[in-house]
């Protein structure tokens, strides 16, 4: 079963979970908004819903109590891990169905992409080529 479907989260809320997982530390809402290309208000609404679902937690910053930090809850980590495992399994099934020649061609095609900079985390907005 797909836990994200069961939770009835939006695509934007799912992206919020994945950003929090990727960062691995509590983040202020404005930084989440920036990374997702959302307004702070929209990111805040996403976080509010995710808090109600019990998949993220919101705490005050030790440095500035006005700043709220957001992190995955234990349940949130479990759901994100489950999603990644489902995707890994689907990729394994796909790869197992390839002929040796198809597998070699796919490997040749992906090698420069995976070795390059295109998949590296960036602080630039998507499609920002500056």
What is the assigned CATH class of domain 3-115?
mainly alpha
pLDDT in tens, 12-55: 999 999 999 998 899 999 999 999 999 999 999 999 999 999 99
Token couple for 15: 């992206």
pLDDT per residue over 44-79, tens digit each?
A: 999 999 999 999 999 988 888 888 899 999 999 999
1: confidence class by pLDDT, cuts 50, 70, 90: very low
């Amino acid at each position: 079963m797909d836990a994200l479907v069961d939770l009835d989260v939006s695509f934007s809320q799912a992206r919020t979970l994945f950003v929090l997982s990727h960062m691995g530390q509590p983040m202020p809402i404005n930084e989440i908004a920036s990374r997702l290309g959302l307004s702070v208000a929209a990111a805040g609404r996403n976080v509010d819903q995710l808090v109600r679902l019990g998949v993220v937690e919101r705490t005050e910053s030790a440095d500035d109590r006005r700043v709220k930090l957001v992190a995955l809850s234990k349940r949130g980590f479990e759901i994100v891990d489950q999603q990644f495992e489902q995707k890994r399994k689907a990729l394994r099934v796909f790869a197992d169905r390839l002929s040796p020649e198809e597998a070699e061609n796919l490997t040749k095609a992906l090698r420069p992409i995976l070795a390059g900079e295109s998949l590296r985390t960036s602080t630039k907005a998507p499609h920002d080529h500056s």
